[in-house]
Copies of this chain bind each other. A is one copy, B any other.
């Protein structure tokens, strides 16, 4: 009998394909619909590249695509997109709010790290952040001291 750990990856898509699903989910949240052109603009690729990806993801069962129309996530696509988005949000918060990395750089690096770490590992990042807020940062001063310490550069 095969067994799965709770943290098991629910997909084996490339980083690039995960990005397409993530972007579609983001567009649907922001604009109600995702269209080929919007996806292309978001990801800085050409429409034709989006088409190739979308066709693959449709075969794979992650999206549905009505020709010349909207791109939609299937149940499976939603699950994967949600997982990637959750990783992104946690990593972004960790980098920005705890490591004090500039907003834009934090976002950019979260975007890359999200494809490199498991759900379980991401969860640990989240819990460390929660733990420190709960038990370590009592006063504003505490977090300011951490910031100062992190920003010091010693070779």
Q: Mask for A87-120, Cβ within 8 A of B = 1, else 0? A: 0000000010011110001000100110111101
A124 & B109 in contact (Cβ 8 Å cutoff): no
Could you say which residues of chain B place their CB within 8 Å of the CB of A116? 109, 112-113, 115-116
B109 & A131 in contact (Cβ 8 Å cutoff): no
B98 & A6 in contact (Cβ 8 Å cutoff): no
- Known A-B contacts A146-B131, A150-B131; the reply to A125 vs B99 at CB < 8 A is yes
Mostly, the A contact residues are helix
A127 & B152 in contact (Cβ 8 Å cutoff): yes
Nearest-neighbour CB distance to chain B for A141, whole angstroms, equals 12
A121 & B146 in contact (Cβ 8 Å cutoff): no
Report the interface size for chain A: residues with CB under 8 A from the other chain. Answer: 32
Select which of B105, B121, B149, B153 is within 8 A of A95 by beta carbon: B121
Interface residues of A (CB under 8 A from B): 6, 95, 98-101, 105, 109, 112-113, 115-118, 120-121, 123-125, 127-128, 130-132, 135-136, 145-146, 149-150, 152-153
